[in-house]
Amino acid sequence: MRRYAASAPTLPDQREAQRSDAQTLKKLWPYLWQYRVRLILALACVMLAKFSNVGVPMLLKRIVDSLTPSPTTAVLVVPLGLLVAYGLLRLSNSALTELRELIFAKATEGAARRISLQVYRHLHALSLRFHLERQTGGMTRDIERGTRAVQSLISYSLYSILPTLFEVGLVIGLLAWQFDAIYAGIALAALVSYIIFTVIVTDWRTRFRRRMNELDSQAHSTAVDALLNFETVKYFGNEAFEAQRYDRSLEQLRLAALHSQRTLSLLNTGQQLIVALALIAMLWRATGDVVAGHISLGDLVMINAFMIQLYVPLNFLGVMYRELKQSLVDLDRLFALQERPCEIADAPGAPALQVGPARVVFDAVGFGYDASRTVLDGVSFEIEPGQTLAVVGPSGAGKSTLARLLFRFYDVQSGAVRIDGQDVRDVTQDSLRRAIGVVPQDTVLFNDTIGYNIAYGRPEASRDEVEAAARAARIHDFIASLPQGYDTPVGERGLKLSGGEKQRVAIARTLLKNPPILIFDEATSALDSANERAIQAELQRVSQGRTTLVIAHRLSTIVNAHTIAVMAGGRIVERGTHPELLAMGGEYARLWHLQQQGGGGAD
C-alpha cells in the first residue's frame, strides 16, 4: 500500500526566520570556538594589518612634506627611506591578510564541514513522513546556501566588518589628535549616518531577499521534480506543460529579483551620497586650513588619503552588511532543518535490540497516518520463530503499513509491536533495522554500479560474497554478460535496468545483509513467470530458519506460508493455512478463485 500527501508538498522549513540574528550567530559560535587558537591568531593578523593600513597615509604625509627646496642629497635620501617604508607597510598589509587566511582556513572549512555533516545526519534521522512531504530540490538548495553562508559569515563578520570598524575608530582618533575636533566630527557624523542608513534599509530589504530565496528554492524544486519524473513527463507528452510550470516559477523569481535590485540601488545611492557629502565637507575644511597656514600640504594629502581609505571599506561595509544579513537568513534555514524535531526518536538510554529466536508480535495495534482515517484497527498476530506469515487482502487494507511499523518508520498509536518480547519503541532504531531485511515492491537504486548497489546490503562484504548473493538472486549471469560486469552503472534510481532486474538486485542486497527477520513486500511482482518461480524457490530457501513477513498480492506466491492472514478494512478477517482458508469459503477463497480465473481481485 502506497500513501501520498493529499495536498501539494511544501518545504517544511519554508517560513519566516523565528530566531534573531544574534541567536543564529550564537548557534554558530561553538563551531568556531573549537578553533579558538587559530581564531585569536587570525584576529591578531587582522588588527596588525589595519595598523599598517592606517600608517600608510601618515607616511605619505611625511613624503609630501619632505619634498621642499633643499640640498640635492637631502631631497634624494630622505624620500627614499620614506618610500621604502611606505612600500614595506603596503607589503605587510597584504602579507598579514594572506597569513590570516592561511591560519584560519582550517577553522572556516572545518566549521562548514561539521554543520553540513550534522544536518545530513539529522535528515537521515527524520521520519518517513518528513521525506514523503519534503521537496528535494528546494531542500538541497537550502543546504547548499547554508553551507556557503557559514564561510561568508566568518569572512564578513570577523575579517571585514569588525576590523573595518576598528580602522575607522583609529582614523577618527588620529584626526582628533593631530587636528581639531571638526575633522573627527565630520568623519564620525559620516560613519554614524552611514551605519544607521545601511542598517535601516538593509533590514527593510531582508524580507525581499528572503522571498527571493524561497522562490529560487521553489523554481529549483519544480525543475528537479520534473527531471526525476522524466519518464512520466514523456508518457503524457507534458514537456510544454512542465516548461510552463518552470517558467512561471522563473517569472516570479525574476519579479522578486527586480524588486530586490531596485531596493539595492536605493541603498547604494544613499550610501554614496553620505560618503560624498562627508568627503566634500572634509576637503573644504582642510583646503581652508592649508590656505590659512594652519596645516601643511602633506596634512591635506594625509586627510584626503584617510578619507579615500575610509571610503573604500565603508562602501564595502554596506555590501558586507547586506551579505551578512543574507548569510544569516540562509544559515537560519539550515539550522531550521537541523533543529526539525524527529518524529521517530530513540528513547533516552535505549538499549540495542537483542535478537534471539526472532519472535514477532503485533499486539492490538492501532494506527493511522492522520487523525481523519484509521488504517489499522486493533490488529494482532504472531510470527513464530523461523516461520513465515503472509498477509493478503485488497489494496488499502493496511498490508504495507505492517512492514513500516515493524521497521519503525512510524510509531503505533495504540498497542505494541514486539520482537522477542522487546517493544520496538524501547530499543535503538539502528539495532532494530540491522535485524530486518526488506525487499520492497518499488525498488530504487543508487546512481552507481550494480556491484555497489548489491554491496549496499553489507558494505564491508567481499566481492565473492557479493557475487554469491547475486547468484542466489539469479542475476549473476545477467551481470556477467554485461561489458562492464559488476561495474555497470545503473543510472538515476536504477532506470537503466528493467523492473525485474532492479528487483533481483534488491533481493541480492537483502540476501547479502543476512538478517534474522525478513520482509518481502511483493518481492517478485516485477519478474516474469519463469524467474518468479525460481526466485520464489530461492526466497523460500533463504527464509528457512528466519522469521518472515510476506506481503502478497498474488496468492500463488504464498501457498506454502505457515500462516496466511487476510486483511480488510484495517482488520484481520481470516487466518489459517492455504488449505484451511480455502475450506472456509470466505474472503481468501473468493480472492483465490478470482485470481485463478484471471480476475485479479487482489492487486
Strand ordering across the sheet containing 563-568? 436-439, 517-521, 547-551, 388-392, 563-568, 571-576
Confidence of residue 549 (pLDDT cuts 50, 70, 90): very high
Q: Is a pLDDT exceeding 90 seen at residue 134? A: no
Number of H helices, E strands in the chain: 19, 10
Q: Is a pLDDT exceeding 70 seen at residue 197? A: yes
What are 291-294's contacts with CB under 8 Å, separation 24+?
A: none
21-339 adopts what CATH topology? ABC transporter transmembrane region fold (1.20.1560)
Q: Is the pLDDT higher at 212 or at 318?
A: 212
Q: Is the pLDDT higher at 437 or at 541?
A: 437
Report the sign of the C-alpha dihedral through residues 29, 30, 33, 34, in that order.
negative
> pLDDT over 90 for what percent of the chain?
7
Confirm if 296 and 290 have CB atoms less than 8 A apart. yes
Confidence of residue 416 (pLDDT cuts 50, 70, 90): very high
* Mean pLDDT of the 68-85 span: 54
517-521 and 547-551: which strand pairing?
Answer: parallel
445-513 sits in which CATH class? Answer: alpha beta
Q: Is a pLDDT exceeding 90 seen at residue 417? A: yes
Q: Is a pLDDT exceeding 70 seen at residue 569? A: yes
Q: What is the pLDDT of residues 513-524, one digit of tens each?
A: 888 998 888 766
* Mean pLDDT of the 489-499 span: 80
Q: Where are the domains of the chain?
A: 21-339, 346-435+515-603, 445-513
CA distance 478 to 322: 58
CA distance 489 to 55: 62
Question: What is the model's pLDDT at position 6?
Answer: 31
Q: What is the pLDDT of residues 314-353, one digit of tens each?
A: 666 666 776 777 777 777 777 777 777 777 788 888 899 9
Least confident segment among 170-174, 243-247, 460-464, 502-506:
170-174
Homologous superfamily (CATH) for 346-435+515-603: P-loop containing nucleotide triphosphate hydrolases (3.40.50.300)
> pLDDT over 70 for what percent of the chain?
80
- Burial class of 72 by CB neighbour count within 10 A (0 to 12, 13 to 18, 19+): exposed
pTM: 0.60
Report the sign of the C-alpha dihedral through residues 513, 519, 525, 529, in that order.
positive
Average pLDDT, the chain: 78
Confirm if 391 and 521 have CB atoms less than 8 A apart. no
Are both 346-435+515-603 and 445-513 of the same fold?
yes
Q: Is the pLDDT higher at 29 or at 521?
A: 521
Give the contacts of 333 (CB within 8 A, at least 6 positions apart): 13, 17, 142, 145, 146, 213
CA distances from residue 367 to 7, 197, 347, 420, 443 in whole angstroms, order as listed: 21, 57, 20, 22, 25
